[in-house]
Chains A and B, each alone.
Chain A
């Protein structure tokens, strides 16, 4: 049963700390998305990759956020330093080729205190 795996499921951290979220996309998928979900803003696209290359990260605050795909089985989203306004659920999704469905992970619920 292929699925997108995200770790950790929940993270509570203090303001100023570095946070790393990880995502294992479905094997063979060539597109990876990072989304942030909050009550106020809904689902925001932060960044996405095609064949491990970053295509668009315009939705991401560049000064503190970074996204990478060190290899085809791992995508990471880092926040350094974290701030309380970063508290949200972060979703990773993967897909294959243009115009097809995206498969979502269960999300990382981040709380910055």
Chain B
């Protein structure tokens, strides 16, 4: 079963605008990760935020984590047509010890129009 759920399911914006995607999850986690998938290809890791962190930056990406609300957001600033892809959040579960499982949501399809 999915642990994370992304919102919205699809997002269409113009080049240069910012894109915000949200992720909600159900159980406590050790960390939350965001991945990107270009059509028909494997997922690529973008950024990881740990449960004791609230915000993290990487280039044009900004991720926030609110463990009290069990939610995260991914902000892509100054979007480009090349950012068009599906974006997934992934979580592992607290208490898994060495048996952590990485589970994904269904993703947000981002389209950046030139």
Contacts and interface: CB of A to CB of B under 8 A. Distances in A.
- How many A residues are at the interface, by size bracket? 20 to 34
A98 B98 contact: yes
A33 B42 contact: no
B99 interface: yes
Prevailing SS type, chain A contact patch: strand
B92 A105 contact: no
Nearest to A35: B104
A4 B45 CA distance: 13
A99 B92 CA distance: 7
Nearest to A56: B101
Interface in B43-64: 43-45, 48, 50
A43 B99 CA distance: 19
B77 interface: no
Interface in B68-114: 88, 90, 92, 96-107
Interface string A74-112: 000000000000000101010100111111111101000
A95 B41 CA distance: 18
Nearest to A95: B102
Nearest to B5: A42
Contact of B45 (A42, A91, A98, A102): A102
Contacts of B24: none
Given A42-B2, A107-B41, A107-B42, A102 B107 contact: no
Given A99-B31, A102-B43, 6 more contacts: A42-B105, A45-B104, A56-B99, A101-B45, A102-B102, A104-B44
18 contacts: A42-B2, A42-B105, A43-B88, A43-B104, A45-B103, A50-B99, A56-B99, A56-B101, A93-B42, A95-B102, A98-B96, A99-B30, A99-B31, A102-B43, A102-B45, A103-B45, A104-B35, A106-B41
Interface of B: 2, 30-31, 33, 35, 40-45, 48, 50, 88, 90, 92, 96-107
Interface of A: 4, 33, 35, 42-43, 45, 48, 50, 55-56, 89, 91, 93, 95, 98-107, 109
